[in-house]
Amino acid sequence: MELYRLGIAEARSAIDKGEISPEELTDSVLGRIRTVEEKIRAYVSITREKALAQAKHAEGKKGNQALHGIPIAIKDNICTEGVRTTCSSKILENFVPPYESTVTQKLTEQGYVLIGKTNLDEFAMGSSTENSAFAPTRNPWDITRVPGGSSGGSAAAVAADMCIAALGSDTGGSIRQPASFCGVVGLKPTYGRVSRYGLVAFASSLDQIGPVTKNVKDAAILLNIISGHDLCDSTSANVPVPDFTAPLGKDIKGLKIGIPKEYFIAGMDKEVEESVKQAINKLESLGAISVEISLPHTEYAIAAYYILATSEASSNLARYDGVKYGLRIEGDDLIDMYMKTRQKGFGAEVKRRIILGTYALSSGYYDAYYKKAQQVRTLIRQDLERVFEKVDVIITPTTPSPAFKIGEKTDDPLHMYLADIFTISVNLAGVPGISIPCGFTSENLPVGLQIIGKHFDEEAVLKIAYAYEQATDWHKRKPEI
């Protein structure tokens, strides 16, 4: 078996036993990148020299570091000290952060090897990784199709074995949707579970960093490392961090799984629907009890999200003005410099969202749009809170269709936005959600199953995800590139 195919737990065990070395593992992953990266374009930057130096440093060392010598990719909107962090935008093309994000600092303390920074939709705004200023990423299962977004580079890199695991960020489904499209595991933790310090902000009340991995156990291992209260992030929750690997392998008999009728809709791909229903049957055969539920305000989630997220983006992206850092295009005066810099530096989708958000926040429209969207957000959260009084988790499809063709939806933003219809409510409510592989279409495209949990109950989500994963073989299938 090629070393690049290993997961975190397998690699850590092999390194601890002396069966492989960090340098051998890193060399194997770098070799895999050389072989397939040109076809996939999962990376913005490949940190070859840094990775080899870190692997060499780990060589011969013994210790209890959970990621000792293990190559991991980081989404390129998460700051890495001394390593370019572009957000896949021209405006930050040459930006090198002078500080480390909290999550990457925690990975460093656990001995990880930074293999590279992964591609994304510019400033994480998109569902296909076609909005990158550098190049679209391609789906390893079919390179004519998108990998999803905005963490498409992270999901594609994991699926193609170009890293052992990766970190992504999820604002409206940006970890779970590409995980579904690429046939890997993607976890969005509860809002506040993981520090956002060093994550370049898109929508601050929605963004959350999470793991993208080859299996559920690896997701739990990474979540153990990156979770915890952080004084550098005012939205970080001061709650206990359990061992997320502890519930894995435990019986799920008697656990109640809610099946929302609003998530099985007209126009949904029939093969996706069938795969998800078979997954529910499998969970029932393992002892889970399914309960039909209703989340009546789901239909308003997309509208509320695209007011709130664009409003926050409009505010957050005001800092890219050509004055302090990033791209600067000289103008006749200060205002002209601002306009030229932002016009040249931002792509079409980012401009669209800034305009939408600025309009929603403008005088005379704030109450009609932003305030109303916040009220709808409260109703969506209350829907989930009511349902969680009766069930332990909620089961849904991750996406209404498998991966679509590159270019298929770029001229229709609204159609593109609907790709996140099943994931957005999770972010609006701040609850955790995971996508795991649950089948393939007749065209050999992965299908994802979404498991949604209560606030700070990632343990239940991971427990059920692991039980399903171990009872099936979907996660073992690999694309031929």
Token readout for 90 is: 């021209």
Annotated catalytic, 150?
Answer: yes
**Residue 227 neighbours by CB under 8 Å, 6+ apart:** 189, 193, 194, 241, 244
- Number of helices (H) and strands (E), helices first, in the chain? 15, 11
On the CB side of 402, CA atoms within 13 Å amount to 25
CA–CA separation, 426 and 450 (whole Å): 10
Burial class of residue 72 in the structure, from the number of CB atoms within 10 Å of its CB (0-12 exposed, 13-18 middle, 19+ buried): buried
Amino acid 196 reads: R
Q: Are the C-beta atoms of residues 228 and 458 closer than 8 Å to each other?
A: no
Query: How many other CB atoms are there within 10 angstroms of residue 94's CB atom?
Result: 11
Q: Among residues 174, 236, 425, 435, which one is catalytic?
A: 174
The tokens 């229709």 sit on which residue?
412
Find how far residue 302's CA is from the centre of its chain. 18
* Identity of residue 26: T
Specify the 3-state DSSP secondary structure of 251.
coil
Where do the H-state alpha helices sit in 174-269? 176-182, 216-226
Nearest C-alpha neighbor of 372 from the set 383, 361, 382, 387: 361
Asked whether the CA dihedral 338, 339, 343, 348 is positive or negative, the reply is positive
Phi, psi dihedrals of residue 264, rounded to the nearest 5°: -115, 90
3-state secondary structure of 94: coil
Evaluate whether 181 touches 146 at the Cβ level (below 8 Å): yes
Is 75 catalytic? The answer is yes
CB atoms within 10 A of CB 432: 27
- Of the residues 88, 89, 132, 150, only one is catalytic, namely 150
174 is catalytic: yes
Tokens standing for residue 262: 């609003």
The DSSP letter of residue 208 is E
3-state secondary structure (DSSP) of residue 418: helix
Q: Are 76 and 119 in contact (CB under 8 A)?
A: yes
Which of 423, 425, 424, 420 lies closest to 385 in space, CA to CA?
Answer: 425
* Radius of gyration (C-alpha) of the chain in whole angstroms: 21
Cα–Cα dist 469/448, whole Å: 12
Catalytic residue among 28, 45, 75, 236: 75
Residues in the chain: 481
- Catalytic positions are 75, 150, 174
